[in-house]
Amino acid sequence: MSQHKHTEQELKLTAILYANKPKVVEHLRKKGTLPKRIDPGGFPTGMNVILRTRGRDPVLNEKEQLVYEAILREGRLPGGSVILLQEACADGPEGNEHNT
């Protein structure tokens, strides 16, 4: 199985999720690194809300940017990541949208 090469868009959406988890930003500011593990509980629902309210390419706020830069610097995703489906997949046979 090949490893997924994340797009900038996917990493930014992942940063938004991480930044909204309790204590992630606090840990990053205190220790200078992301936590060793981030519990992904609630990420599917959170991602759905973000996509519906901010779209697929949102502008990051200060905390989200801080997390995004840490992801790029550390090269790891301790809470998993967002993987976007191709646009062609978004309009299924019944017009349902599929998000991950």
Q: How confident is the model at residue 63 (pLDDT cuts 50, 70, 90)?
A: very high
Q: Round to whole Å and give the CA distance between 12 and 34.
A: 15
Backbone angles phi, psi at 78, to 5 degrees: -70, 0
Residue 97 pLDDT? 46
Q: How large a percentage of the chain has pLDDT more than 70? A: 84
Q: Round to whole Å and give the CA distance between 67 and 53.
A: 20
Q: Round to whole Å and give the CA distance between 96 and 11.
A: 24
Residue 87 pLDDT? 60
Q: Break the chain into its structural domains and give their ranges.
A: 8-90
pLDDT over 60 (residue 1)? no
- 22-36 pLDDT, tens digit each: 999 999 999 999 999
DSSP state of 57: S
Angle of helix 8-19 relative to helix 24-31, nearest 10 degrees, comes to: 100
